[in-house]
Amino acid sequence: MSIWFSIAILSVLVPFVQLTPIRPRSCLQAKELVAQRNGYYVLFDSTNKPFMTYCDFESDKGFAWTLVESLSLAKAKTSKYQKNFYYDEESDVCTVNWAEYRLSKSKMLSIYQTPGSDYVRATCNFNAGIDGGLIDHRDYFRVATCRYNMFAISNSFGCISLDYFNVRGYSCRKCSVSVYYGRSNYHTFIDVSRATQSCSRLKIPETINNEEAFGRYRTVNPKFRCSTNSTSTTNWWFGGTVIA
């Protein structure tokens, strides 16, 4: 589906209702309207201003995901993006550049606060050029927003119950993992080595001391897909379940 066709179909008018344009604020709302395939879509923020992002309807059956940040390892290590989601650090959002893309805080909150946006996930190397976008669910996690506040700030970690967690092939469901919320000087991330010692004390093999996943990346494990090389990307999404 082309970008412009995606925009056009989401600008249709509601029949029999004062001819008010439909302006979806999340990919879940776009899905509930007419969207079916993965692609680049125009959404609208809380002030009805349009912006472009990427919608994933295919990699997780029953979910619709809105991309809010995608950074290469090289960009993720820069001071500009060493901030958690509480802080406003927007990239150039005229286009979706998978190596450097971050929505403004106001746009993120508009999506996050839209009814049905009940989950957060992080993926590695999402590829818009292949069917489904992900080859599998390795190096991936998903958490309900009722258990994890994306916009909280703290110098410490919290034991967060994740719906699904996978790092370097080790996976668990409904397990408690050490998540650092982040502050103005470092991004949200999961301390893999601490996850083996606290919370659910996961038995993750080949863990490096102070290994960081899904953000910050002061210490990286090249076997983790988000940090294999400088062009590897970490992708953050807000999403919800699709009612058939």
8 pLDDT more than 60: no
Mean pLDDT of 86-107: 94
Q: How many domains does the chain have?
A: 1
Residues 46-71: pLDDT tens digits? 999 999 999 999 999 999 999 999 99
- pLDDT band for 92, please (50, 70, 90 cuts): confident
How many alpha carbons fall within 13 Å on the CB side of residue 124?
A: 26
Residue 155 confidence (pLDDT): 86
The amino acid at residue 4 is W
CA-based radius of gyration for the chain: 18
Residue 239 has pLDDT above 70, yes or no: yes
What is residue 93's predicted lDDT score, i.e. its pLDDT? 67
- Does the pLDDT of residue 3 top 60, yes or no? no
The residues with which 239 forms a beta bridge, in sequence order, are 65, 119
pLDDT band at 14 (very low <50, low <70, confident <90, very high): very low
Sign of CA dihedral 173, 174, 180, 183: positive
pLDDT at 158: 92
- What lies within 8 Å, CB to CB, of 217 at 6+ separation is 73, 76, 77, 189, 227
Place of tokens 């008018």: 13
* Burial (0-12, 13-18, 19+ Cβ within 10 Å), 136: exposed
Look up the domain containing 20 and give its range.
Answer: 3-241
pLDDT digits (tens, 9 = 90+) for 184-233: 999 999 999 999 999 999 999 999 999 999 999 999 999 999 999 999 99
State the pTM of this model: 0.91
Confidence of residue 156 (pLDDT cuts 50, 70, 90): confident
Residue type, 117: S
- Tell me which DSSP letter residue 225 carries: G
